[in-house]
Chain A
Amino acid sequence: MKWINENLYISPINTYIDPSKPVENAIITHGHADHAKPGHKNVLATKETINIMKIRYGENCAENFQELPLNNTLKIDNVKITFYPAGHILGSVQVLAEYRGEKINFTGDYKTKKDKTCENFEPVRCHTLVTEATFGLPVFQHPNEHNEIKKLLRSLQLFPERPHLVGVYALGKAQRIIGLLRQQRYDKEIFIHGALEKLCNYYIKENVFLGKFSKTNLKTKQEYQGEIILAPPSAIKNVWSRKFEDPIICQASGWMSIKQRAKQSLVELPLIISDHADWNELTDYIKLTRAENVYVTHGREEAIVHWCKMNKINGLALSLSGREEEEDL
């Protein structure tokens, strides 16, 4: 940790990774709000992440944008930067930084499972791994996502008169759910809350197949019977949801494996679908990288650090602030 510090600051090139406040030079791993903030001077990211930032924060949310394609190396002074796909959402990357022969890999948020709405994850060897740990407890072992989607489709057959209101994060999760439904040959129109529209359109522009969808303000209560409607979880808790008659509240999230949490959020049909690595993915990847040092940025740091100790790896919790759990993600 001589040339990077606990704020993910790469000192030889005066650059931060996913900084929580405006800085001069930022590398952004992906477009989620707790990683990509507006107001930096120079931003280095994938084309998709830059576009997502512009959609969310406006064209001028940074002074300069520099694109770096996947698997290309950019040399800045003595530091080599390479992006590898993180499999989390469209445009998400791991950032490999190499300085004087030492490789540090920043995972950002990632999952190793296949996902048709973004580039699939690629493992990278490194000396030091800086990893997330959102689901860093052995209770989190995400089931097969196709089986989870089948639960939703079964429920639609069982309750053809009830609208199915699915809580999803607007960026990434929404599009993945639509994609998974299409993979199950669900070809009906899917309805979306207005907050999802721009990002869905952008995914289509990037050639992600989402099929037919439209916003929810066009129909009467009866017309939503037996339809799938996607919305941010906050909208489902909000007055907005009153426009649906007797909906089944669903939520697609890794947290849904905890029944009490689903119950507390008044979720009737939990769908355990996550865009984060689960416990096995996290620990398998640490082993695979053969890293000697593991720094945990955010999530359940304690358990991962404890696991590292059990496996004779140096583990350290960074406890980065500002990485709130995106609400109910």
Chain B
Amino acid sequence: MRGFSELIDKLLLTSSRNRKIDILCDYFKNTPDPDRGFALAIITNSLELKNIPISKIKEIVRENVDAELFALSYDYVGDLAETISLIWPYKENGHLPQISKMISILKNIKKDELSKKIQTFLSIANETERWALIKLISGGLRIGVSSRLAKTALAKFGDKKLDDIEKIWHGIEAPYETLFKWLTNLGPIPEIDLKKTFNPMMLANPIEENDFTNINSKNFVAEWKWDGIRVQIILDDFNIKIFSRTGDDITQTFPEIKCLQKELVILDGELLVGRDYIPMTFNTLQQRLNRKKVSLKHIDDFPAFVKLYDILYLNNEDLREKNWDERRTILESWYYKNKNRYFDLSKIINFNSWKNLAEIRKNEIIDDQHEGLMIKSKYSPYISGRPRGHWYKWKKDPKTVDAILMYAVRGHGKRSSYYSDFTFGLWDGNQLSPIGKAYFGFNDNELKILDKFVRNNTIKKFGPVREVEKTFVIEVAFDSVNSSTRHKSGVALRFPRIKRLREDKPIREVLQLSEFKLEFL
């Protein structure tokens, strides 16, 4: 446990992305199998120890520490794993088992020996090991390392392509010994079971002004960027699996979607709700997401369907190396053969020049249904990740609103001496109500101005948060607004960023929240 606990301690306290990658590479290099694989699984949240409830751990601590002192300490420290690691009163000699051994002990621990074992472990451990052990049991490390970052570190460690790691990632399991064999050039790339495995999706880059001069419109096709959730559908042996863009299995959330195929077919599309293939708003779709149980009424009120974009496999054949236009032909012929009410083709938009496409984008976009346009090269293979030069997204113009700067927090890494995370708000009667947070969009010079304003106009501090004089107006750009019950203002902005500083603007000219809702919601 020593190595693992030191690893996650270092990762927690490091804010630089590159440095985190280096720390992980070092660990992979200096740690044998299967320990490094289990550590990887924990960091990427691919391993859960569900058998020990955290309430049991609390109970064990309360048996050994005065309850009142524990409560006061927990209240002060705020993090359970930290509180227990610091307050545990006993020290015994010995060494904790390695991480892989520890996991197997914890997984197979019997109820009647649980208390005694855990107590012994807590006493043998040093503070950081105790902290790591409790994090391990409670799940969710929250040390600021995404699984993407961990995979990036793996790619660097093995000098392999991140895309190749993404391709196999969802088909391999802890302790990833075949993966590490391949990364250290001691074995071939691991084989995976395609039928069960999510294949990371191909994503688009935002189109830039000079792209239009550099790419030939004749080589590209366009389709609407539908405002739903991107999904991958795997059909095989009369089964269906639906994965979200991040690889989460969401089949259970949309049980109505069915399609029976004997041989393997993998489709890429946008999941939407609506009738007759006419999508309802994204807000409506959200009614269907994150629900464990789906009622028939829900399915009736908000029926789901998929606009098909692409096809990756047909009858066990991998189509990803083929050009987009070949795949499209295959997709269309599959679609007409297997047509059912849950599938629709995402239609191709005809255009003859970028100017023509710009007009279509301007005149034909439907705000509630489209996020913008997708522009795809006719010759693009299907490559996981965000390869350059193949697919572009041309989002609809952002909406903007002038808002008043209210709070600021210092940033991380390079920006750690700057106030660079800003909360802004609109009027709600005579009060200001925060409507969102933004930490980019400004240039370096604007950041300096904002930072200086925050430092010179702080009226209150709440820990790291500074409340500022309500005099500074900023223009905020955002993609859309959703109604939200979680935020006091009742709205949540999608993708907010600071577009311009409007120091000249009087704060009385800023909108009322009610006016804002009327206009955008």
Residue ranges of A at the interface with B (Cβ–Cβ < 8 Å): 137-141, 237-239, 241-242, 249, 257-260, 262-270, 300, 302-303, 306-307, 310
Contacts and interface: CB of A to CB of B under 8 A. Distances in A.
A237 B73 contact: no
A300 B72 contact: yes
Top-9 shortest CB links A-B: A139-B86, A139-B73, A303-B72, A266-B416, A137-B73, A139-B87, A138-B87, A268-B13, A260-B79
Contacts of A242: 417
23 contacts: A137-B69, A137-B72, A137-B76, A138-B73, A138-B89, A139-B76, A139-B83, A139-B87, A140-B86, A238-B417, A242-B417, A249-B416, A258-B82, A259-B9, A259-B12, A260-B79, A264-B464, A265-B464, A266-B410, A267-B13, A268-B13, A302-B72, A306-B69
B65 A138 contact: yes
Contacts of B131: 259
Interface in B393-452: 410, 412, 416-417
Contacts of A138: 65, 69, 73, 86-87, 89
B77 interface: yes
Interface in B83-141: 83, 86-87, 89, 127, 131
Interface in B457-473: 463-464
Given A238-B417, A310-B66, 11 more contacts: A138-B69, A139-B82, A239-B417, A259-B9, A259-B13, A264-B463, A266-B412, A268-B14, A303-B69, A306-B66, A306-B68
Contacts of A140: 86
Contacts of A238: 417
B15 interface: yes
> How big is chain B's contact interface, by range?
20 to 34
Given A138-B87, A267-B13, A269-B13, A307 B69 contact: yes
B307 to A, nearest CB: 43
Nearest to A260: B79
Contact of B417 (A237, A269, A300, A303): A237
Contacts of A262: 13
Contacts of B410: 237, 266
B354 to A, nearest CB: 43
Contacts of A249: 416
Contacts of A239: 417
A269 B12 CA distance: 11
B76 A300 contact: yes
Contacts of B53: none
Interface string B57-78: 0000000011011001100111
A260 B82 contact: yes
Contacts of B76: 137, 139, 300
Contact of B82 (A137, A259, A266, A300): A259
A259 B127 CA distance: 11
Contacts of A300: 72, 76
Interface in B197-224: none
A303 B13 contact: no
Contacts of A266: 15, 410, 412, 416
Contacts of B464: 264-265
A167 to B, nearest CB: 13
Contacts of A257: 86, 127
A237 B464 CA distance: 11
B20 to A, nearest CB: 11
A239 B15 CA distance: 19
A141 B417 contact: no
Contacts of A141: 86
B3 to A, nearest CB: 16
B101 to A, nearest CB: 25
Nearest to A249: B416
A141 B12 CA distance: 21
Contacts of B83: 139
A262 B89 CA distance: 23
B73 to A, nearest CB: 5
Nearest to B463: A264
B13 A270 contact: yes
Contacts of A265: 464
Interface in B355-414: 410, 412
Contacts of A310: 66
A307 B410 CA distance: 38
A265 B12 CA distance: 12
A138 B87 CA distance: 6
Contacts of A263: 12-13
Nearest to B9: A259
Contacts of A139: 73, 76-77, 82-83, 86-87
Nearest to B14: A268
A295 B73 CA distance: 20
A307 B68 CA distance: 9
B451 to A, nearest CB: 9
Interface string B26-38: 0000000000000
B446 to A, nearest CB: 17
Interface in B8-22: 9, 12-15
Nearest to B13: A268
A125 to B, nearest CB: 26
A263 B410 CA distance: 12
Contacts of A268: 13-15
Contacts of B68: 303, 306
A139 B13 CA distance: 20
Contacts of A307: 69
Nearest to B128: A259
A112 to B, nearest CB: 19
B77 A260 contact: yes
B184 to A, nearest CB: 24
